[in-house]
Amino acid sequence: MSVLIGKKAPTFTADAIIDGGKDAVIKLSDYLGKEEIVLFFYPKDFTYVCPTELYAFQERLSDFESRGVKVFGISTDTAETHWAWLNTPKNNGGIQGITYPLIADVDKTISMKYGVLGGDFFYNDKDELAFEGDAIAFRGTFFIDKEGIVRHQYVNFFPLGRNIDDTLRIVDAWQHFQEFGEVCPANWSKGDDAMKDNHESVADYLSKH
């Protein structure tokens, strides 16, 4: 898996479904340098754990938006499959009501660029291009700052759903650091005391907590 922390986020152009049902083309470069971004990969449409994550992001979407953060979901399904899933009611296994963009990584190049594709292409002993593993994305989450730099990433294996509240906590920690120049210790949440980088010793901080 690629470690992208501190590096420019890989750019891409891809088909997407936006606003719960409209066709669009998403260019990540249109957002880089303007907005902070949470880009999250999930394995497949019409599965079990994935809709719980997509709805969890939707439930907190206003919290991300109030912080100036754009949320994008992405899988290796087609835009047509995204559309069908978005038009299927929740009680039938669908994700009707999701409003943020869902990107189609059909050729799997975006998942490869971000290091979350669940397998690898290789040439076999007949010099034929083949694939080993699961040709779908792991549950990767990336937070990209306004300069287009990846500041946070984590990746879960297929059965392990992610914690959306913690993604929001990461956003808060980064924005706190940007505003106040203070670093955020373990289990920090918005409103907690932070640490003054290079000014407050760890011992001093711990003595107050």
Segment 115-158, tens digit of pLDDT: 999 988 888 888 888 878 789 999 999 999 999 999 999 999 99
Angle (CA) 142-10-102 rounded to 5° is 60
Q: Among all chains, which residue has been given the structure tokens 């650091």?
A: 177
- Cβ count within 10 A of residue 59: 11
184 is catalytic: no
What pLDDT, in 10s, does the model give residues 43-74?
999 999 999 999 999 999 999 999 999 999 99
**Fold classified for 13-162:** Glutaredoxin (3.40.30)
**Is the pTM above the cut of 0.85?**
yes
Catalytic position from the list 50, 79, 116, 144: 50
The token pair at 65 is 């938006």
Q: Which residues pair with 36 in a beta bridge?
A: 69
Percentage of the residues of the chain whose pLDDT score is greater than 90:
84
- Cβ count within 10 A of residue 78: 15
Domain ranges of the chain: 13-162, 164-209
